[in-house]
Amino acid sequence: MKIKRDLRLTPKKTLGDFLVLTALLILFSSFLYYIGPPKYTTTSFTVFNIDDQSDFNKGTYTNTIWNKDHIELINSLTGTYESKVFDAAENATWDNITLDFSEPETNIIFVVDDKASFWKSSDGVAWTLVNESYNGDDEIDKDDAIKILTDDNKYLYISEGKKHVWKSTNLGVTWNKIKEKIPGLIDNPVQVDEGFFNQNNRKVKAATSILFKTDLKFQVRTSNDNSNWNDFTGNNGINSYYTNSFEILNLNARYFQYKIYFTSELNSLTPKLKRVSISYTPNILPPKINLANSNIINIDGVINLAYTVNDKYDIKDCSLLINNIVNQTKSDIRKNDEETFALNLSAGAYDYSINCINIYDKNNINNGKITVILADKFKGGTTNFTSLNNLNNIENLKLEVPGYSKIEFYGSVDLSKGADLNSNIDISEGKIDLNPIELPMLNKSAIITIYNIKS
Domain boundary at 238, 262, 282, which?
A: 282
Position 32 scores a pLDDT of 25
What percent of the chain stands above pLDDT 90? 74
Residues 224, 235, single domain; the answer is yes
Contact between 5 and 438 (Cβ < 8 Å) = no
Counted domains in the chain = 4
Residues 277, 323, single domain; the answer is no
Residues 269, 148, single domain; the answer is no
Residues 93, 233, single domain; the answer is yes
Q: Chain-wide mean pLDDT for the chain? A: 87
Between 281 and 364, the more confident residue is: 364
Over residues 380-387, the mean pLDDT reads: 96
Contact between 299 and 399 (Cβ < 8 Å) = no
Over residues 419-438, the mean pLDDT reads: 93
pLDDT tens profile 77-127: 999 999 999 999 889 999 999 999 999 999 999 999 988 999 999 998 999
Residues 157, 93, single domain; the answer is no
**120 alpha-carbon distance from chain centroid:** 54
Of the chain, the end-to-end C-alpha distance in Å amounts to 9
Q: Is residue 61 part of a domain?
A: yes
Longest C-alpha distance within the chain, in Å?
Answer: 154
CA distance 127 to 131: 12
Residues 232, 253, single domain; the answer is yes
Confidence of residue 151 (pLDDT cuts 50, 70, 90): very high
Domain boundary at 321, 339, 373, which?
A: 373
Residues 426, 340, single domain; the answer is no
Residues 295, 271, single domain; the answer is no
Q: What CATH number corresponds to the domain at position 267? A: 2.60.120.260
8-22, 60-74, 236-250, 421-435: segment of lowest average pLDDT: 8-22
Position 95 scores a pLDDT of 95
**Domain range enclosing 131:** 106-212
Residues 275, 334, single domain; the answer is no
Instruction: Report pTM.
Output: 0.63
Q: What secondary structure does DSSP assign to 262-322, as a single string?
A: EEESSTT---EEEEEEEEEEE-PPPPEEEES-SEEEESSSEEEEEEEEE-SS-EEEEEEEE
Domain boundary at 348, 373, 398, which?
A: 373
Residues 347, 198, single domain; the answer is no
Q: What CATH number corresponds to the domain at position 358? A: 2.60.40.10
pLDDT tens profile 200-254: 788 899 999 999 999 999 999 999 999 999 999 999 999 999 999 999 999 999 9
pLDDT tens profile 17-58: 332 322 222 222 222 222 233 333 334 457 888 888 999 999
Residues 68, 199, single domain; the answer is no
pLDDT tens profile 161-198: 777 899 999 999 999 999 888 888 999 999 988 888 87
Residues 228, 137, single domain; the answer is no
Contact between 420 and 346 (Cβ < 8 Å) = yes
Q: SS3 for 440?
A: helix
